[in-house]
């Protein structure tokens, strides 16, 4: 009887070992280490891009992905993609100088089985299904404008007047922020005037536009929609030089100033009470979504191709809810 029991136990052990062996061969190794490259435009003057790079490097260990960094112009971007193919890397994260120029190289990368994730910069939305990438993670300037418009509509249900200090003339980001704000505001949020800066998002030009608005419209101005936080610095200076107060109480004559970006300048101006709202682009959340999507795909899962990261609505009441931007 004992021999029979021992034989049965031995058979069970052999069966279990065989099942385990088969399982080891067929089941994917979830969370296995992966190698990739972070490729971005030349950011000598782009502190936001340096911060984005740092966030990818800070967070990559949480997803068991090891990244190298390649920064440069269009030719450098293409060379980095080709090197990734040669090195048989698992994933590419890229914010290219010019997405059209890197399409052939990204096509080859995907044919080689490399996961391609875009961040921050995306192709035209009516064409993105045809572009060679697995997913995009970033913010949408239009939706940021919509969020800003909806915010002031809720904040001022009895209506208010606004002027717009727009970003660089003809720049797609400025156009989208302009159109988004108008689609977000209620009918009783009334436009007095709108001007775009002629230069490259210059603070001094934002100040000059605001000075003109104050001369023309004076006390009629309740809200300023400025397309970038550094431009809001010039707006604040013009308002203060005119003897007016930037703040949130428009009934008391204060001017409600909105900026866009969520950078260190915007946070400081919100903290000081000079800027009522910064519509923040969360670079941390962009990096996290990219790494998370790559990890899911590496483990055999599927992800959405377009991943829109909500903007952080940074006010004096909410500022402590968000990671402090280091750009």
Q: 242, 216 in Cβ contact below 8 A?
A: no
Q: Which residue segments constitute the domains of the chain, with CATH numbers given?
A: 34-139+283-310 (3.40.50.2300), 141-280 (3.40.50.2300)
Q: Which residue has the tokens 């921050």?
A: 120
Instruction: Return the percentage of the chain with pLDDT > 70, whole number.
Output: 90
Q: For residue 66, how far is the Cα from the chain centroid?
A: 22
**pLDDT-based confidence at residue 46 (cuts at 50, 70, 90):** low
Q: Is 99 exposed, middle or buried (0-12, 13-18, 19+ CB in 10 A)?
A: buried
Residue 277 near residue 311, CB atoms below 8 Å: no
Burial classification of residue 198, based on how many CB atoms lie within 10 Å of its CB (0-12 exposed, 13-18 middle, 19 or more buried): exposed
Give the pLDDT band (50/70/90) at residue 13: very low
Per-residue pLDDT reduced to its tens digit, 177-216: 999 999 999 999 999 999 999 988 999 999 999 999 999 9
Per-residue pLDDT tens for 270-286? 999 999 999 998 888 99
Structure tokens at 252: 């008391």
Q: How far apart are CA 154 and CA 249, in angstroms?
A: 14
Q: What's the pLDDT band for 26 if we cut at 50, 70, 90?
A: very low
> Which residues are registered as beta bridge partners of 72?
41
Question: Which pLDDT score is estimated for 17?
Answer: 36
Average pLDDT over residues 255-264: 96
What's the pLDDT at 43?
Answer: 61
Percentage of the chain surpassing pLDDT 90? 73
Contact 196, 258 (CB under 8 A): no
- Number of Cβ atoms within 10 Å of the Cβ of 314: 28
Mean pLDDT, the chain, rounded, equals 88
DSSP label at residue 246: B
| CA 163/CA 226 separation, integer angstroms | 9
Predicted confidence (pLDDT) at residue 44 exceeds the cutoff of 60: no
**Residue in 255, 274, 153, 264 with CA at minimum distance from that of residue 210:** 255
pLDDT confidence tier of residue 118, bands split at 50, 70 and 90: very high
Q: How far apart are CA 101 and CA 244, in angstroms?
A: 49
- Which of 3-7, 186-190, 262-266, 300-304 is predicted least confidently? 3-7
When comparing pLDDT for 94 and 14, which is higher? 94
Q: Residue 74's closest CA among 44, 95, 45, 48? A: 95
**The pLDDT of residue 30:** 52
**CB of 222 closer than 8 Å to CB of 192:** no
- Give the SS3 label for residue 95: strand
| DSSP summary character for residue 71 | E
């Amino acid at each position: 009887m004992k021999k029979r029991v021992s034989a049965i136990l031995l058979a069970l052990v052999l069966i279990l070992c065989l099942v385990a062996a088969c399982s080891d061969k067929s089941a994917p190794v979830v969370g296995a280490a992966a190698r990739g490259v972070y490729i971005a435009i030349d950011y000598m003057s782009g502190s936001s891009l340096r911060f984005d790079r740092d966030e990818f490097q800070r967070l990559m260990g949480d997803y068991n992905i090891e990244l190298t960094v390649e920064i440069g112009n269009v030719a450098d971007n293409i060379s980095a993609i080709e090197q990734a193919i040669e090195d048989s890397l698992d994933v590419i994260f890229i914010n290219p100088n010019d997405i059209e120029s890197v399409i052939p190289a990204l096509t080859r990368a995907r044919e080689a089985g490399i996961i391609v994730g875009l961040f921050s910069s995306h192709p035209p939305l009516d064409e993105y299904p045809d572009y060679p990438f697995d997913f995009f993670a970033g913010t949408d300037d239009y939706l940021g404008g919509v969020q800003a418009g909806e915010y002031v509509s809720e904040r001022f249900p009895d209506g208010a007047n606004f002027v717009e200090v727009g970003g660089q003339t003809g720049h797609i980001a400025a156009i989208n922020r302009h159109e988004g704000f108008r689609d977000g505001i209620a009918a009783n949020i009334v436009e007095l005037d709108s001007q775009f800066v002629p230069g490259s998002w210059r603070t001094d030009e934002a100040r000059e536009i605001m000075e003109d608005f104050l001369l023309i419209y004076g006390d009629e101005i309740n809200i300023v929609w400025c397309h970038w936080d550094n431009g809001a610095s010039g707006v604040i200076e013009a308002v203060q030089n005119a003897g007016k107060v930037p703040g949130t109480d428009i009934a008391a004559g204060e001017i409600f100033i909105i900026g866009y970006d969520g950078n260190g300048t915007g946070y400081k101006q919100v903290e000081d009470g000079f800027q009522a709202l910064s519509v923040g682009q969360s670079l941390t959340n962009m990096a996290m979504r990219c790494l998370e999507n790559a990890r899911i795909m590496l483990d055999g899962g599927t992800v959405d191709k377009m991943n829109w990261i909500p903007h952080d609505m940074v006010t004096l009441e909410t500022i402590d809810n968000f990671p402090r931007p280091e750009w």
